[in-house]
Amino acid sequence: MTRRILHVVTNVGHYDDPSHPTGLWLSELTHAWHVFAEHGFEQTIVSPQGGRSPLEPRSLKFPTYDKTAKAWHGDPDRMELLEHTAGPDEIDAADYDAIYFTGGHGVMYDFPDSEGLQRITRQIWEQGGVVASVCHGYCGLLNTLLSDGSLLIAGRQVTGFAWTEEVVARVDKLVPYNVEEEAKKRGARYQKATLPFAPYTVVDGRLVTGQNPGSAKKTAEKVAELL
């Protein structure tokens, strides 16, 4: 049976200060998409509001603007997928084997409190599916409650973009909160690589998380192994 993956992307195109653009970190989508395509998985893109997912300008520059990102950016059909993403109400979670939250700083604003995304994530998890995120994608897991009222990430090993990486990237004054700290507050057993921006992926049962853009491919490979 063909496995089906649901990618989650942001609808937000700027920080609190509109003069600072942000959005989807493209390679975090394209690296995973490429891995899943090689496995023959069917793939769908959803966003909190549906519709357009803007791209983070910095993701279109060296070093993460690589072969897969350039190929996607240069393909009108692929770019069209990001203009017309599905909304949560259009998604039947029973159809999917895994959900994969992409990053980019835009997700810090619209992922955490999306009840639609929480519903989908909870159902995929409770039907035995895989829940995954990369970089800031774990913002989408912060407030996801399971049917028993517990937080999905509580007591589980998790990684995601570290506060030290926010500082190195010089966006620590722009971000609305410290997501590493928020995950810890919710009981996540947060882990990170010794060096900022080094690829790092954590697997805790059916929960797979990657720390930063360089971790997307490995995260997707771990999801594929579980499936």
Could you tell me if 118 and 147 are in contact, meaning their C-beta atoms sit under 8 angstroms apart?
no
Taking the C-alpha atoms of residue 192 and residue 187, their distance in angstroms, rounded to an integer, is 16
Note if 136 is an active site residue: yes
Note if 14 is an active site residue: no
Taking the C-alpha atoms of residue 86 and residue 72, their distance in angstroms, rounded to an integer, is 19
Beta bridge pairs of residue 130: 98
Would you call the peptide bond into 199 cis, given omega within 30 degrees of 0 as the criterion? Answer: no
From the CB of residue 132, how many other CB atoms can be counted at a distance below 10 Å? 30
> In the β-sheet with 42-46, what is the strand arrangement from edge to edge?
42-46, 4-8, 98-101, 130-134, 207-210, 201-204
Note if 135 is an active site residue: yes
List the catalytic residue out of 34, 105, 135, 165: 135
List the catalytic residue out of 7, 136, 165, 182: 136
SS3 51: strand
List the catalytic residue out of 28, 165, 166, 180: 166
Taking the C-alpha atoms of residue 11 and residue 20, their distance in angstroms, rounded to an integer, is 15
Residue type, 159: T
Active-site amino acid positions: 135-136, 166
